[in-house]
Amino acid sequence: MSPKSQPVATKVKRVARERLRRENDILAVARELVAREGIAGFSTERVAEEAGYSRTAIYRYFPSKEELILALAVETAALRSKLWERIEDFDARPRERMVAMGEVTAFLYPRHVLPQVVALSNAVRAKTTRERQKKLRALDREDHRISIGIVRSAIKAGDLTLPRGISDEELLFGINAFVRGLFLSIAIASPIGEVGITDPRRVMRALGREFLDGMGWRPLSGEWDYRATMRRIYTELYPPEYLASLGLRIDDRTAAVLRTARA
């Protein structure tokens, strides 16, 4: 590089760093807004107001509300993939590993779950750039690789028998539809407390247990100490200090269950 070109290259890098910093600032504010008020209360105007930027400045980085939601979804997908990768090395039964995947969803909620659920809709994808759509699809493929691997390992171990006429891919589709449907209902509904739902994570865990039992995925909940599994998940896979390094923490109900289980 010639001496004349060095200042130009330095300036380009500085501008790129500043752009990235501002994008991250905007995304952080947007994520907190979604967590606090849900998708129904989310708008570019509200993000601009809380971030201290003009609406025009926000559009410079994210040309639409949908693009902002998709950017949040890409962030979430990258984080979830990083967390799920640890499950591949978890020395446990396949169903325990599936439980661990569910726990990732539990402690990502609500700051990280709702934008990704909404980003799956055609209404969002129709107004977003192909570049971010491509990033999300690549991360989704990696998630699929991990989750279908768990399903197939359960079948190979004899812990799971596929229902007649249903393939392993179709079974996984059903599991994903169950989880995403639960959180989509939360995303588009009025405040869930108004209908008596105080903890969606408890609903997900309880119904997930019944769902897997109904499929005959062994060991069934009556045959296995899944509280011990939970202890392992939160001591071996996702100890508090590791979650804290990612800006995450377990919810108070889970912490109480773990304290009871240790007693």
Cis ω for the linkage preceding 94 (within 30 of 0): no
Residue 6 pLDDT > 70: no
Q: How far apart are CA 109 and CA 112, in angstroms?
A: 6
Which CATH number applies to 1-62: 2.40.110.10, 1.10.10.60, 3.30.470.20, 1.10.390.10? Answer: 1.10.10.60
Q: What is the pLDDT of residue 182?
A: 77
Contact 80, 104 (CB under 8 A): yes
Model confidence over 12-66: pLDDT tens digits?
677 788 888 999 999 999 999 988 887 778 899 999 999 999 999 899 999 999 9
Question: Which is more confident, 125 or 25?
Answer: 25
- % of the chain exceeding 70 in pLDDT: 90
Residue spans in the chain of domains classed CATH 1.10.10.60: 1-62
Q: Which of 93-97, 107-111, 231-235 has the lowest mean pLDDT?
A: 107-111
pLDDT category of residue 192 using cuts at 50, 70 and 90: low
Question: Which is more confident, 139 or 198?
Answer: 139
Model confidence over 244-262: pLDDT tens digits?
999 998 888 788 777 776 6
Model confidence over 199-218: pLDDT tens digits?
778 888 999 999 999 999 99
Tell me which long-range contacts 253-261 makes (C-beta under 8 A, separation of at least 24).
253/199, 253/201, 253/202, 254/103, 254/106, 254/107, 254/201, 254/230, 257/227, 257/230, 258/230, 258/231, 258/234, 261/227, 261/228, 261/230, 261/231
